[in-house]
Amino acid sequence: MATGDFVLRPFETLPAEPDWVALKELVPAATATARTTAEHGSRDVVVTTALPSAWHALHRTDGQVLLALQTVGGSGDASRDLATALLRALETEPGTAIETLGLPTPGPRLQDVLDLSVPFEVTVRDSFEYWLDPALERTAQIDQALEDADSGILRTARIGGVDAAYWTRMGAKEYLRWAQPLGEQQVLDGLARLHGARASAFDGGRFLGYFRSSGIVVPVWELARGSEPEDTELALAQFAPRFFEALADESPLDANARRARAGLVARQVTLR
């Protein structure tokens, strides 16, 4: 693959593709499980939303390797960029951070480096405490830096019962963002069917629209003021069958759905 080639869905075929996208774009602090293939040492990897100073990866002194998704720069293929950072971290001495990456040359992608049979299990965090190397002494400076980093974390929770749905509180409002693994046209048609029939809302949730990131669609709902994750989980469990039925419907869109679809497309935002 040429260095400048753009890959629309860089995380396609990885376990839990929508969660990869959510951790890259939506979730402030979270970790997930991964492991390299036997060819690359069968090493456990902690995939994280972010690392200090926007580092790409960190090989801690205790041997743990952390790979960050929320980084700056790179080529047109996020999967290849991340694989490059991961392989460099594995090759460095413990205690080394991959602070800069440059423009990666053609090489393996995450799909080549990771064992795809290992589940991508997400843990949402309320602190970046997991950054800290247990072998290093805690100092007042470290504690202050951690406190500063934690102050920017928006309260976020992963909703159970469905895949890749995340509740978050922003100021005085709460939102649900639900990343979808299906093709963009199929998801848009499903949303349009519901919105055209005035059925895109659920108890306590008002459908706002969607954005696109890493080639997948992420619908967004504004929730009733003060909604907590458990409230949203119950309401989403009741709404999900109707949503999945609309996604599976392959019949032509009626006039209301076509108008709704045009409106959704006009308002969509592409993050990257």
In this structure, the answer to whether residues 120 and 103 fall within a common structural domain is yes
Q: Could you please report the per-residue DSSP string of 219-247? A: EEEEEPTT--HHHHHHHHHHHHHHHHHHH
Structural domain includes residue 188:
yes
Structural domain includes residue 87:
yes
In this structure, the answer to whether residues 171 and 248 fall within a common structural domain is yes
Structural domain includes residue 5:
no
**Rounded to 5 degrees, what angle do the CA atoms 265, 267, 272 make?**
85
In this structure, the answer to whether residues 141 and 165 fall within a common structural domain is no
* Residue 82: both structure tokens together: 């991340």
In this structure, the answer to whether residues 218 and 148 fall within a common structural domain is no
* CATH value at residue 205: 3.30.1460
* pTM score of the predicted model: 0.94
In this structure, the answer to whether residues 257 and 218 fall within a common structural domain is yes
| Domain C-terminal end among 153, 179, 196 | 153
**Which residues are CB-contacts of 229 (< 8 A; sequence separation ≥ 6)?**
157, 159, 167
| Domain C-terminal end among 153, 181, 216 | 153
Q: Could you please report the per-residue DSSP string of 119-173? A: ---EEE-S--GGGS-TTSPP-HHHHHHHHHHHTTPPPEEEPTTSSSEEEEEETTE
Structural domain includes residue 11:
no
Give the residue numbers spanning the domain of 171.
157-270
Distance, CA of 197 to CA of 242 (rounded, Å): 12
Buried b or exposed e, range 16-27, using 16+ CB within 10 angstroms = bbbbbbbbbbbb
| Domain C-terminal end among 108, 131, 153 | 153
In this structure, the answer to whether residues 79 and 185 fall within a common structural domain is no
Distance, CA of 245 to CA of 239 (rounded, Å): 10
- CA 92 to chain CA centroid, Å, is 27
Mean pLDDT by 10 residues, the chain (272 residues): 73 98 97 98 98 95 96 88 96 95 86 98 97 88 93 96 97 96 94 96 93 94 96 96 97 96 83 56
Closest CA to 260 of 214, 219, 203: 219
In this structure, the answer to whether residues 21 and 149 fall within a common structural domain is yes
Structural domain includes residue 123:
yes
Structural domain includes residue 236:
yes
In this structure, the answer to whether residues 230 and 131 fall within a common structural domain is no
Number of domains in the chain: 2
How many Cβ atoms are within 10 Å of 269's Cβ, its own excluded? 11
In this structure, the answer to whether residues 133 and 170 fall within a common structural domain is no
